[in-house]
């Protein structure tokens, strides 16, 4: 415990260094902006702005992107409440009660509840993160390539078992990401693989950022253009000191829901397929179930705003836990952060704590600071963000497209990759419209090279003996959980059919 406190102290000092503090402010502001813009979320912001962070050292870069991540979680509530359109999918549940509150002239109360709940959710989850991360990383130091591979199988299995999407399409998405990650030279034999149409450009492979920006930049903007077409109705927000003071006194009305959301969000966030959106929805559901007045949910109950907002903030920190300690991202956003860490020359995983303690503890320290900064910025700048929301899409869209194209070019120095980005963006948009989930593909392209390397390393080490994955206890447990997760939807379906059959027999 003492070691943790000393390291945390050093991390906090690092977070207060001028450059890092500036990055926290810039990241929080950028996050609030992307979070409140309908159609843009943390994942889009992180993907689009990652190339720009090459300007600063890795610690400052991850601090910026992590701050952007929290900021986006706060910002999502602004458009959910004032426009009735979730700023990001993570803020979907906030619309249920946030919109009715805005319609009845309580937009300021909803916005303040969202900000305060987000702050509590963020703080609780950061404390949990600080307590859990070092022991988990120390435990993960025992992992060999077998365990790494089994963990990655587990990450993919959670998408199949818990993702809630069409299973064959989810499997297709995961496999497509893994195959695209294999383009280039074989890591063991050095042989060129999948050099399409003999184009030499494919020898360097397809970077994860090209895929991520294609899907989350181009594809997402096309999706947003189609779904909103710029037709939105905004509600006015009246903010006065007296109303703010009154709103602060209302904390007791939603504090219980906030605690539930904070703890639930953190643990759900650590699961790779779950993340902030299901955490927010689950938290909303739980708050409603345990509320003394469940009928008021959906009609403007402030607890219905606080519960999902606390959960989505807590989940964003929770999803960083497996990324930092195990090298397995807990969400699409952390998948991109993990890819960024590889570009910055760091090796994600348990060794980070011993090899780059400044980086890890600087990040953890910045989380505490960023959470407070985002709360202050959010409360202070609500009127400005509401004006920003009125910005027409015909101004925002070209800026994002330009950042996507130049961001990809800046990362790889090749026009070829910008073409791949455009193709992936359009194909991703068309596939997403048919319910093909895109997040597993992004996770797979980041983890693909690591998964193949750990699998082949294990097999070379065991001289081709496949049982090596089943004779090591941690690996075996991970594989068994993965098998259980994959079987879960099938068993669920069989049970449901049996129940239906039994009901129809009783009915007859």
Partner 1 sequence: MTVRIAELLMGIATLLVSLGLMYNVYADGLNIGWVEGRGPGAGVWPFWLSFGMALASLVTLLRWFRGVTPESQSSEPYIAPDTVFLVTVSAGSILALLILMNIVGTYIALMLFMLFFVRFLGRHSWPMTAGFVLGTPIFVYLMFEVALTKYLPKGLPIFEEGFLVIDNLRYEWFY
Give the Å distances, CA to CA, from 422 to 214, 310, 350, 395. 6, 36, 35, 20
Nearest C-alpha neighbor of 303 from the set 35, 462, 114: 114
Residues paired with 185 in a beta bridge: 192
Task: Round to whole Å and give the CA distance between 248 and 83.
Answer: 23
Is the dihedral angle over the CA atoms 269, 492, 445, 435 positive or is it negative? negative
Query: Is 323 a binder of partner 1 (CB under 8 A)?
Result: no
Tell me which DSSP letter residue 185 carries.
Answer: E
Pick the piece of the chain touching partner 1 (CB under 8 A) from 81-89, 132-140, 354-362, 387-395. 387-395
Cβ closer to partner 1: 101 or 210? 210
Q: Contact 239/383 with Cβ under 8 angstroms? A: yes
Residue 394 burial (CB < 10 Å; 0-12/13-18/19+)?
exposed
Q: What is the pairing mode between strands 192-193 and 184-185?
A: antiparallel
Cβ closer to partner 1: 98 or 217? 217
Q: Which of 1, 199, 395, 506 binds partner 1 (CB under 8 A)?
A: 395
Pick the piece of the chain touching partner 1 (CB under 8 A) from 1-9, 23-31, 59-67, 191-199. 191-199
Q: Tell me which H or E stretch contains 193.
A: strand 192-193
Q: Which of 289, 394, 504, 508 binds partner 1 (CB under 8 A)?
A: 394
Q: Tell me which H or E stretch contains 184.
A: strand 184-185
**E runs forming strands in 375-473:** none
CB of 40 to partner 1, least distance (A): 15
Query: Is 222 a binder of partner 1 (CB under 8 A)?
Result: yes
CB of 343 to partner 1, least distance (A): 14
Within 13 A of 150's CA, how many CA atoms are on the CB side?
A: 25
Nearest C-alpha neighbor of 309 from the set 254, 388, 346: 254
Contact flags string 229-248 toward partner 1, x per CB under 8 A: x-------------------
Residues paired with 192 in a beta bridge: 185
Task: Round to whole Å and give the CA distance between 76 and 81.
Answer: 9
CB of 182 to partner 1, least distance (A): 4
Query: Is 176 a binder of partner 1 (CB under 8 A)?
Result: yes
Cβ closer to partner 1: 28 or 420? 420
Query: Is 459 a binder of partner 1 (CB under 8 A)?
Result: yes
Q: Which of 196, 238, 240, 292 binds partner 1 (CB under 8 A)?
A: 196
Cβ closer to partner 1: 113 or 443? 443
Q: Which of 54, 259, 344, 488 binds partner 1 (CB under 8 A)?
A: 54
Q: Considering only residues 399-418, where is the footprint of partner 1 by CB under 8 A?
A: 399, 401-402, 405-406, 409-410, 413, 415, 418
Alpha-helix runs per DSSP H in 184-271: 208-213, 220-228, 241-249, 251-269
Query: Is 435 a binder of partner 1 (CB under 8 A)?
Result: yes
Cβ closer to partner 1: 29 or 101? 29
Residues of this chain that interact with partner 1 (CB under 8 A) are 51-52, 54-55, 166, 168-169, 171-172, 175-176, 178-179, 182, 186, 188-189, 191-196, 218, 221-222, 225-226, 229, 392, 394-395, 397-399, 401-402, 405-406, 409-410, 413, 415, 418-419, 422, 425-426, 430-431, 433-436, 452, 455-456, 459-460, 463-464
């Amino acid at each position: 415990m003492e070691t943790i406190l000393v390291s945390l102290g050093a991390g906090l000092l690092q977070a207060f260094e001028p450059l890092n503090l500036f990055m926290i402010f810039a990241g929080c502001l950028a996050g609030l902006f992307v979070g409140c813009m309908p159609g843009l979320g943390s994942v889009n912001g992180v993907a689009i702005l990652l190339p720009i962070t090459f300007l600063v050292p890795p610690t400052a870069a991850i601090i910026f992107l992590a701050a952007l991540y929290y900021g986006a979680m706060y910002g999502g509530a602004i458009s959910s409440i004032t426009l009735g359109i979730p700023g990001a999918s993570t803020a979907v549940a906030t619309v249920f009660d946030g919109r009715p509150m805005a319609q009845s002239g309580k937009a300021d109360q909803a916005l303040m509840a969202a900000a305060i709940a987000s702050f509590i959710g963020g703080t609780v989850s950061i404390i949990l993160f600080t307590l859990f991360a070092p022991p988990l990383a120390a435990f993960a130091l025992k992992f060999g390539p077998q365990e790494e591979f089994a963990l990655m199988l587990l990450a993919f299995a959670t998408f199949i078992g818990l993702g809630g999407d069409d299973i064959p399409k989810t499997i297709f998405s995961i496999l497509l990401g893994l195959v695209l990650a294999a383009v280039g030279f074989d890591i063991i034999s050095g042989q060129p693989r999948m050099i399409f149409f003999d184009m030499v450009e494919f020898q360097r492979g397809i970077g994860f950022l090209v895929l991520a920006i294609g899907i989350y930049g181009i594809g997402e903007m096309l999706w947003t253009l189609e779904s909103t077409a710029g037709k939105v109705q905004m509600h006015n927000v009246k903010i006065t000191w007296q109303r703010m003071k009154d709103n602060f006194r209302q904390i007791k009305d939603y504090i219980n829901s906030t605690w539930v959301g904070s703890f639930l969000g953190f643990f759900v966030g650590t699961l790779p397929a779950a993340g902030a959106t299901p955490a927010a929805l689950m938290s909303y559901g739980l708050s409603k179930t345990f509320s003394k007045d469940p009928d008021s949910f959906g009609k403007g109950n402030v607890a219905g705003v606080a519960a999902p907002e606390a959960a989505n903030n807590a989940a964003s920190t929770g999803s960083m836990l497996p990324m930092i300690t195990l090298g397995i991202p807990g969400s699409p956003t952390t998948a991109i952060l993990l890819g960024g860490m590889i570009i910055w020359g760091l090796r994600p995983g348990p060794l980070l704590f011993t090899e780059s303690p400044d980086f890890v503890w600087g990040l953890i320290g910045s989380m505490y600071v960023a959470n407070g900064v985002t709360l202050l910025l959010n409360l202070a700048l609500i009127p400005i963000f509401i004006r920003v929301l009125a910005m027409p899409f015909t101004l925002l869209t070209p800026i994002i497209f330009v950042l996507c194209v130049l961001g990809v070019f800046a990362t790889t120095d090749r026009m070829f990759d910008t073409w791949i980005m455009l193709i992936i963006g359009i194909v991703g948009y068309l596939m997403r419209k048919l319910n093909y989930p895109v997040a597993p593909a992004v996770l797979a392209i980041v983890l693909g090279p690591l998964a193949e390397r750990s699998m082949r390393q294990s097999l070379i080490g065991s001289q081709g003996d496949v049982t090596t994955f089943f004779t090591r206890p941690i690996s075996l447990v991970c594989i068994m959980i993965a098998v259980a997760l994959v079987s879960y939807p099938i068993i669920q379906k069989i049970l449901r059919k049996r129940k239906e059959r039994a009901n129809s027999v009783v009915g007859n």
